[in-house]
Amino acid sequence: MTIPQTQPPFPAIALCLGGMDPSAGAGLLRDVMTLTAMGIHPMAVSTAETLQNGLACQRIDAPSMDPVGRIENLGPHLTGRWGVKLGLSAVDEPTFRRLAATLRALNPLFRIWDPILAPSVGVGLHDGQDLRRMADILLKDGAWVVSPNRGEAAALAGLPPDLIQSAAPEILAEPWLQRGARAVWLKGGHTQGEEIQDLWISAEGITALPAALRLAGQRRGTGCTLAATWLGLRLLGRDDLAAARESATRLRLRWNQAFAPGGAGLSLFAPETPETPETPETSCG
């Protein structure tokens, strides 16, 4: 008797756009490590080059090769179930406009923007005016989730530093929504107090994600890890809120699995053992 051969499901694809941190604490290498461990196939295009290690970021430059040309070259692979994550971007405004138009034409199923003002330690790159320009260009198609912390949201809203902690969530989220964001995942890690609570904010209202006690210590690349995990979980069939909740849970479970390479600088997350790939649900909801 002939036993029929079943074709395993091909992995979903995540296109990662962001900064190249050579230490892999954050940026593209961190995205790739996170998604690979989830059974997602990552592709990566640099939108910023950094002179960076676990001690500090010393320099940020635009990439030497046109990122839009690289994305267009990947176009034949970007079909079916795929999504995109955007992180640190040092490209000029004309290039960013081309990048946004190219992604709009390629039409990924899921899109998340982690709007980084600056790495954890060292030189910064953007201010609130930069974020507003980028948001005006990127978000107008109404398809992006943005995942700022309070400082990044306050910068885009034009609020002074002394209001970062006290500003109402709707004040922090409204400028993103007005520019076309589908939802704002307002991360709570930069708030004060013993508890951390993220908020999911859309035109339908505010949903508080489960609160959790603050864990001791600081980790590099938490924003990158959360956004990449969310994209991976969406590609595996979770809905928006389930993906956000599970992303936070996964990060907390890994919190103590961190180390500082060579014993220098801030701790980063240790590599994960790849999971058995999940079969995506049929719904994209």
Summarize pLDDT for 195-254 with one digit per residue, the tens.
889 999 999 999 999 998 989 988 999 999 999 999 999 999 999 999 999 999 999 999
- pLDDT > 70: what percent of the chain? 92
CB burial of residue 121 (10 Å; 0-12, 13-18, 19+): middle
CA angle at 52 for the pair 50 and 56, rounded to the nearest 5°: 130
Domain ranges of the chain: 13-258
Cβ atoms 186, 173 nearer than 8 A: yes
DSSP 30-71: HHHHHHHHTT-EEEEEEEEEEEE-SS-EEEEE--SS-HHHHH
Mean per-residue pLDDT for 139-166? 93
The pLDDT value recorded for residue 282 is 42
Tens of pLDDT along 159-205?
998 888 889 999 999 999 999 999 999 998 766 778 889 999 999 99
Domain 13-258 class in CATH: alpha beta
pTM: 0.92
Q: What is the mean pLDDT of the chain?
A: 91
Quote the tokens at residue 73.
């070259």
Phi, psi of 141 (to 5 degrees): -85, -5
The pLDDT value recorded for residue 274 is 65
